[in-house]
């Protein structure tokens, strides 16, 4: 019995819409200061936007078209970086939700004594605790994380 999770497509419209909104929200300086490189790019974009406004009013030292091109490039860089970060976060959250949804109860063969040939009782895997010993035979699903203590042949 294999449990396969559905792959999340790269261009999922709902995920991309949410990521685009998050990219705009992440323009907040409180968020951007956590990434110093992108924070400096955002400050440069804001500063060049002010220079563009000054150039339109006739007080700039460079043509407005040139300054606009620089502004657009800087704002695109900041927004794209935020969008990529938001997509990665969204995909991670979706995968975590998918794993939580796929988690199920597996019966475990709890060993009464930790030795070969010992009697066992069938219990839900949620009842297992640290240092419990379980029997896993060929074809069984492994009920939880752990380490192999004894791999004696049948």
Whether the predicted pLDDT of 1 surpasses 50: no
Which tens digits make up the pLDDT trace of 25-51? 999 999 999 999 999 999 999 999 999
Whether the predicted pLDDT of 19 surpasses 70: yes
pLDDT at 8: 59
CA distance 114 to 104: 26
CA distances, 124 to each of 103, 115, 128 (Å): 13, 21, 7
Which tens digits make up the pLDDT trace of 70-114? 999 999 999 999 999 999 998 888 888 777 776 667 788 888 888
Instruction: Say how many C-beta atoms besides its own lie within 10 A of residue 72's C-beta.
Output: 14
CA distance 116 to 140: 17
Confidence of residue 136 (pLDDT cuts 50, 70, 90): confident
Q: Are residues 134 and 108 in contact, defined by beta-carbon separation less than 8 angstroms? A: yes
Question: Is this structure's pTM higher than 0.75?
Answer: no
pLDDT at 84: 93
């Amino acid at each position: 019995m294999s449990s396969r999770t559905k792959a999340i497509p790269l261009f999922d419209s709902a995920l991309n819409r949410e990521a685009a909104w998050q990219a705009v929200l992440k323009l907040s300086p409180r968020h951007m200061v956590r990434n110093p490189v992108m924070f400096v790019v955002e400050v440069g974009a804001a500063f060049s936007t002010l220079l563009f406004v000054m150039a339109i009013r006739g007080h700039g030292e460079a043509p407005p078209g040139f300054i606009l091109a620089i502004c657009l490039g800087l704002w695109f860089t900041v927004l794209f970086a935020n969008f990529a970060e938001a997509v990665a976060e969204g995909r991670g959250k979706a995968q975590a939700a998918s794993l939580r949804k796929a988690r199920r109860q597996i019966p475990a063969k709890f060993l009464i004594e930790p030795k070969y040939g010992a009697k066992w009782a069938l219990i839900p895997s949620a009842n297992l605790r640290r240092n419990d010993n379980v029997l896993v035979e060929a074809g069984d699903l492994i009920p939880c994380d752990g380490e192999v203590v004894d791999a004696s042949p049948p």
